[in-house]
Amino acid sequence: MSAAASAGTWKLGDLEVNRIGYGAMRLTGNGMRGNSDGTPIDRNAAVGLLHRAFEQGVNHIDTAAFYFSPLRSANEIINRALSSWHGDVVVVTKVGPTRDPSGEWLSTVRPDQLRGQVEENLRQLGRDYLDVVNLRAGGPRTASIAEHFGALAELRDAGLVRHLGLSAVLPEHVAEAQTIAPVACVQNSYGLDRRRADESGLVDLCGEQGIAFVPFFAISGLRREAAAGQEQDARVRSVARAHHATPAQVRLAWTLHRGPHVLAIPGTRNPAHLAENIAAGALRLTDEEMALLDKPDESTGWA
């Protein structure tokens, strides 16, 4: 069994993947907010990192055309890595937000502009169709996603997309989308420090409907695009010591313990951290440890 398979598998539509995947946002040397001051990651090193992930069983990558910095594009690096890899890897991308070539954020696209975004991902990834495309909504305050999701459903019917998903949504958005086309996965910010998807019932709803729930910022939490800082939660440190694990591994393990339909897509540029993240799938927390971690942190709380 590969390391990434230790947490089991789930299906994105009809595509079975190991529950430990990889998020490509950090491959460009910056985050979604367009921070471009860091040294660009070496292309060969980035390709090598992806190959190391594949060798350890990662067969699910999360990306987007708007993951880029002045000299690097996540999709371009993934394209290069997959062109020299012979195994099957499911690539999940997202549309909705957009940046101009200089990196400035633009308004969310209209439904009729989504085809252009899908085609942009196809060109960059070098594919004839996309495995999964997530519609990233404008946030929980978005009243309706019907027009945008309907436009993607038409692209699925045209053969450009295999499966559809949602990102940054509420349960009512999932219900609305399900009346238009099947939803394969839902991506929301979720972790020990940010559990709004529990409060809204979204995590459980996805499990009941067989939809993969794919949290982002599961390690960085409230730091969002920033790299995870020194662990401040004493409970996490305590559980980590008991398992001779890192706090990041405990956070990932807690996320995976939320249900067999919950996937993880931690991203990193560090080969050692990559191996640690993948190994977190084998970490088994006790009921007592889960109960301890499930309680809000009295010092910071969670939202």
* HEC-encoded secondary structure of 39-96: CCCCHHHHHHHHHHHHHCCCCEEECCCCCEECCEEHHHHHHHHHHCCCCCCEEEEEEC
**What does the CA dihedral 73, 255, 5, 271 come to, rounded to 10 degrees?**
40
Identify whether the C-beta of residue 249 lies closer than 8 Å to the C-beta of residue 280: yes
DSSP H helices, the chain, are 43-55, 74-83, 114-125, 146-157, 171-178, 196-199, 202-209, 234-243, 247-256, 271-279, 287-294
Question: Active-site residue 67, yes or no?
Answer: yes
Q: Point out the residues that are catalytic.
A: 67
